[in-house]
Structure 1
Amino acid sequence: MITRSNIRQTIKQTPKVVGIMRQYSVGSSDGSTGSHRGFGSEDSFTKKEKAQEDFYIKQHEKEQLRKLREQLQKSKAEVKNIEEQIENIQK
C-alpha cells in the first residue's frame, strides 16, 4: 500500500528538471566557420566567390543567347523558304 510518506520520499528523490536551454552566441566571431558576416565586411574569399558566380552566370547567359540566335536564324531561313514556295505557286 502506498502511503503519503512513500509518495513524499519518491517526489524528493526524483530529480527535478529545471528548464534546460541551449545557448547560442548572437554576435559574430571572427574566423568561425559559417558565422554571419555584416553587410560591410567582405574578405577576399567572398569577393572571389562572387566574381566566379558572376562569371559563370555571364557565360551561361552568353550560351543561351547564342542558342537563341541560332534558332532565330533557322526560323528566318524557314520563313524565307516558305515565302519562296508561295511565290512559285502563285506564278
Structure 2
Amino acid sequence: MSLTRTLLTRQFPALATRTTTARTFSLAARRMAEGDAGATRSGGAAQGDAFTKREQASEDYYVRQQEKDKLAKLKQKIADQEAQLAKDREEAEGMVKKP
C-alpha cells in the first residue's frame, strides 16, 4: 500500500473499503510520411525547388551582411587603436626629448 493511500485511509476509513482502478493514458506516436505537413525537407527533388533556392539565397545574404558588419566594426576598432598608439608614441617621444 502506498504512503498516500495509507494516510488517506487513516483520515477517511471509508476509502479503505473502496477499490481504486488505475488507468494508463497513452497516445500512439504520430507518424508522417515524406511530403506530409510538418515533414522535413530533404535532398532530392526539394533541392531544385525555387522556394528552397530562394530561402538559401536569403540566408546567405543575411550571413554576408552580418559578416560585413562585423568586419567594418573590427576595422574601425583597429583604426581607433592605431590612432591611440600614434598618440602614445608622440607622448613617449616628447617625454624622452625633455631633459
Q: Same fold (TM over 0.5)?
A: yes
Letter matched to residue 34 of structure 2: S
Higher RCO (CA 8 Å, separation ≥ 6 residues): 1
- Measure the CA separation in 2 of the matches of 1:37 and 1:51: 16
User: Residue in 1 aligned with 2:16?
Assistant: none
Normalising by structure 1, report the TM-score. 0.66
User: Residue in 1 aligned with 2:57?
Assistant: 51
Normalising by structure 2, report the TM-score. 0.61
The counterpart of 2:43, out of the listed 29, 39, 49, is 39
Q: Deviations over 1:39-89 (max 9, x none)?
A: 223211111111101100100110110011001000000001000100011
Structure 1 residue runs without a partner (length 5+): 1-16
Q: Is the helix fraction higher in 1 or 2?
A: 2
Count of residues paired in the alignment: 72
- Measure the CA separation in 1 of the matches of 2:92 and 2:29: 79
- Measure the CA separation in 2 of the matches of 1:64 and 1:36: 32
Structure 2 residue runs without a partner (length 5+): 1-22
Coordinate RMSD, CA, aligned: 2.2
Dislocated runs of 4+, deviation >4 Å: none
User: Residue in 2 aligned with 1:75?
Assistant: 81
